[in-house]
Amino acid sequence: MAGLATVFGSGAMTNSIPEIENNDLLFVIGSNTKENHPIVALRMIKAVRKGAKLIVADPRKVPMVRFAHLWLQHRPGTDVALLNSMMHVIVKEDLIDREFIVMRTEGFNEEFINNLEEYTPEVGEKITGVPKEKIIQAARMYAMAKHPGIYYTMGITQHSHGSDNVFCIANLALMTGNLGKESAGVNPLRGQNNVQGSTDMGCIPNLYPGYQKVDIQPVREKFERLWGVSLSDRPGLTAPEMIAEAEAGRLKAMYIMGENPVLSDPDIGHTVKALKCLDFLVVQDIFLTETAELADVVLPSACFAEKDGTFTNTERRVQRIRKAINPPGEAREDSWIIMELSKRLGYDMKYTNIEEIFQEIGMAWPAMAGITYSRLEKGGLQWPCPTTDHPGTKYLFKGGFPRGRGRFTVVKYRPSAEEPDKEYPFVLTTGRILFKYHTDTMTGRVDPINKVAGEPFVEINPEDALILGIEEGSKVKVSSRRGEITLKAKISKRPGKGVVFIPFHFKEAAANMLTSSQHLDPLCKIPELKVSAVRIEKV
């Protein structure tokens, strides 16, 4: 998200979900939408049925490919080359939107154009493995469409060059003027129900709620006034940095609320080791997760059905959640726990109900000032919504970008940090499957789901399987420089040759035993979860 924020000034889906059905072209890259955002996928399919063209770029033959007019099967980690090559074609064939570039953007200069110069379709083909004709076709289809939407998820971001990928996507949209319009834009799809919200709310080491920077004095002063305390001016540690600092012995205590980093973060061995180094670990969750097992104190909390509040979905829509049942035993709402702790630490947060907290958010961040619980009774509202008579914002950047002009970024293709080699000849890419969610703490406790998707597996291309003598259902050992796991093989044409896929949900064969925590994106510090080198052996 930092990537988009850098070039536009704020990071979120620029369009809303209902607008999808009026796209005349959908460019889905690095998103297994039908499995991971099933309901967004339905809108995409609806658009296709209404006549839209669909381009899917994915190393795997994900289910959306079935509906695609064009499928670009690029090698994992070569998105920059693919996108630059498409832009090369667009510039060369003069399919750019001059007026938009002049009026609304900056950085479309010689350096930028010169950089694209080298990414001819031939070069693109060489790096990505996608035939150049397809690259050219995709470029033309995108550039000539009137309402093209780009959709991406972790397939774009979970790389050591994740921000570069995002910059390229932004460049592509900017040079064709496909932003700030209805049914045309750049749309990262969020993987969890309230990722958008927790980012908006400032659970980010350098940002207060509403993307306001902690190191800008007037901003800090505003929050000091609002909260009545003095605040630190140093940006804090990111999650991967916290783990590293813990291991180094400099971070002494952690408070983890509703997350299971042991399973969701790369290199499990490393994460466990780091957490064990802490003097004190508090985990607040609804289940005794793998992370909670390591804690000194575990606080039982209420789940979504047991509390009131709001979630913000991937299209910036703030929506009400409502309490339906009582929490089990003595489990309490997270807000109650935080307030009790705070009081004991001498800072009394005085709220008599949840809505008061929400009102304070509106005071801290003008984009949500116009939203009230009573307005939300009639359905969600999309931020920005500055006043109580504002209808909310369907699509962003209508009049301009928050940072003024949209910025072009020069991006060079860098290979992934860990390329396959003799010892570890396969590229491992991780992800989710339809039936499972994240670290499976929730879906793993739904019997029917376990019946249809109970077992971990590794997807292997039939040609590779043949060479390795692996059959459907064979037990195989997958190892990387970090660790190894044993699981069943699933022979499938979904991954291309040389690529294997493992869903990361399963603790009994956790894909993140294999991934690396060392290769972080320099800008946003996301680890490279989508490309690791692995070896496969039959057991």
Residue closer to another protein, measured from CB, 105 or 301: 301
The three-state secondary structure class of 100 is: helix
- Minimum distance from CB of 97 to another protein (Å)? 29
- CB of residue 327 vs another protein: minimum separation in angstroms? 8
CB of 173 to another protein, least distance (A): 19
Q: How far apart are CA 499 and CA 461, in angstroms?
A: 7
Cis peptide before 261 (omega within 30 of 0): no
SS3 annotation, 166-212: HHHHHHHHHHCCCCCECCEEEEECCCCCCHHHHHHCCCECCEECCCE
Q: Is 285 or 464 the residue whose CB approaches another protein more closely?
A: 285
User: Tokens in use for 34?
Assistant: 């039908």
Report in angstroms the alpha-carbon separations of 482 from 206, 400, 424.
30, 46, 12
**Rounded Cα gap, residues 184 and 25, in angstroms:** 9
Contact 345, 41 (CB under 8 A): no
Distance of closest approach, residue 236 Cβ to another protein, in angstroms:
3
The least distance separating another protein from the CB of residue 425, rounded to whole angstroms, comes to 28
Q: Which is nearer to another protein, 134 or 436 (CB)?
A: 436
Outline where 288-380 has alpha helix (H): 334-344, 354-364, 373-376
| Minimum distance from residue 242 beta carbon to another protein (Å) | 4
Return the bridge partners of 312, or none: 318
Of 113 and 338, the one with the shorter C-beta distance to another protein is 338
Minimal distance, residue 28 CB to another protein, in Å: 15
CA distance 457 to 476: 9
Smaller CB separation from another protein, 329 or 399: 329
**Smallest distance from the beta carbon of 6 to another protein, in angstroms?**
13
If the CB atoms of residues 118 and 296 are measured against another protein, the closer one turns out to be 296
* Residue among 114 and 342 whose Cβ is closer to another protein: 342
Cα–Cα distance, 503 to 537 (Å, whole number): 18
Q: How many whole angstroms separate alpha carbon 284 and alpha carbon 292?
A: 8
Cβ distance to another protein smaller for residue 118 or 293: 293
**3-class state of residue 395 by DSSP:** coil
Nearer to another protein, 42 or 113 (CB): 42
Backbone angle region of 485, left / alpha / beta, with phi > 0 → left and psi within -120 to 50 → alpha = beta
Q: DSSP 3-state helix, strand, coil percentages of the chain (rounded to 5)?
A: 35, 20, 45
Minimal distance in Å, beta carbon 106 to another protein?
25
